[in-house]
Amino acid sequence: MTSDGKRISYIARHSGSQKSNLVICNSDLDDCWTGNAYDALSPIRTDLSGFHLSYIATKGKKQGVITVNLQESGLKETESNWYDKIQSFEISEGGGYLAFLATQGEQDLLVKNGAETRVPHYDSAFDIAVSKQGQVIYTAMVKNSVRAYLDGRRVGSDYAEINAPVFSPDGGNYAYVVKKGEKYAVAVNGKEGPSFDMAVEPRFSPDGSRVVYRARNRGERFVVVGDTKAQTVKEHPHYEAVWRVNFAPDGKSVAYGVKMGQQFWWKHENL
């Protein structure tokens, strides 16, 4: 559903024709638009506003990425070129950039707004993130290791896992979670931070100067604030459970839910 609650979207599968199509309706479901029929459609991916949609379509033996802007009237689907295979895809916040990884013959390609760039070969692709300014970071398996690539250029070290890549709001910094041995860390701009039993959900502050994430050590959970060199600025108090971190509108503090014993709190901490 769009952020204004006026439109919903879903994929319809037809048992008779075995085709699938996108359906867009108003919130009352009394006015709907039907998209083109394809052999298969992936789950829909949207930006935070819900107005910009993207999904992989299969047509015969080819795949393409379809985009839709729900701020336009009716339903207009925009198709990418068609490829042998598409793996990871993402649309930037605001819908300005669409990026995906595709295979065409023997070539592995990074496609951004229709422009194709040949990239180093990978065995399989995982996560991809696109900044509002158009930078792309993706992770891929190469032999027995996972690597990160920024606009097709390898960055950082090889790891057992690389998860949850994210950009700062201005696109100048990036971060992701890495697994090395049995430990996890958050790497910022390719530099590895301190190790924990678990680390999840890195997020940049609105000004891009801080990375905030949740971590776990010896059964205790807490919030860590780091800088753009992956150094710890502040480690918040430890609890039995910590929920997703949210930034205050001024970007100078964070709030999140915690649990200790049978008590639950909403914590507010300065960065």
Residue that is written with structure tokens 């204004």 in the block? 4
Our separate counts of H helices and E strands in the chain read: 0, 28
**Do residues 221 and 215 touch, judged by C-beta distance below 8 A?**
yes
- Stretch 130-137: mean pLDDT, rounded? 97
Number of domains, the chain: 1
In a domain, 12, yes or no: yes
Of the candidate ranges 4-13, 160-169, 185-194, the one whose mean pLDDT is the lowest: 4-13
Tell me: pLDDT of 246 over 90: yes
Q: What share of the chain is helix, strand, coil (3-state, %, to 5)?
A: 0, 60, 40
* CATH number of the domain where residue 160 is located: 2.130.10.150
Rounded to whole angstroms, the maximal C-alpha distance in the chain is: 59
pTM assigned to the model: 0.91
- Stretch 144-165: mean pLDDT, rounded? 96
In a domain, 24, yes or no: yes
Domain range for residue 99? 7-206
In a domain, 73, yes or no: yes
Q: Nearest 10 degrees: CA dihedral of 268, 203, 236, 265?
A: 40
In a domain, 38, yes or no: yes
- Stretch 44-71: mean pLDDT, rounded? 94
pLDDT at 88: 94
What's the mean pLDDT when you consider all of the chain? 95
Tell me: pLDDT of 97 over 90: yes
Instruction: For CA atoms 61, 65, 71, 76, give the dihedral sign.
Output: negative
β pairing state of 145-150 and 153-159 = antiparallel
pLDDT in tens, 23-44: 999 888 889 999 999 999 999 9
- The residues, ordered by sequence, that sit 6+ positions from 90 with a Cβ below 8 Å of its Cβ are 45, 54, 98, 99, 100, 128, 129, 130
Tell me: pLDDT of 264 over 90: yes
**Do residues 128 and 137 touch, judged by C-beta distance below 8 A?**
yes
In a domain, 90, yes or no: yes
How far is the C-alpha of 82 from the C-alpha of 239, rounded, in Å? 50
Which of the pair, 109 or 1, is modelled with greater confidence?
Answer: 109
In a domain, 127, yes or no: yes
**Do residues 129 and 168 touch, judged by C-beta distance below 8 A?**
no
In a domain, 217, yes or no: no
User: What count of Cα atoms within 13 Å lies in the side-chain half-sphere of residue 126?
Assistant: 16
How far is the C-alpha of 121 from the C-alpha of 139, rounded, in Å? 12
Confidence band, pLDDT 50/70/90 cuts, at residue 2 = confident
In a domain, 55, yes or no: yes
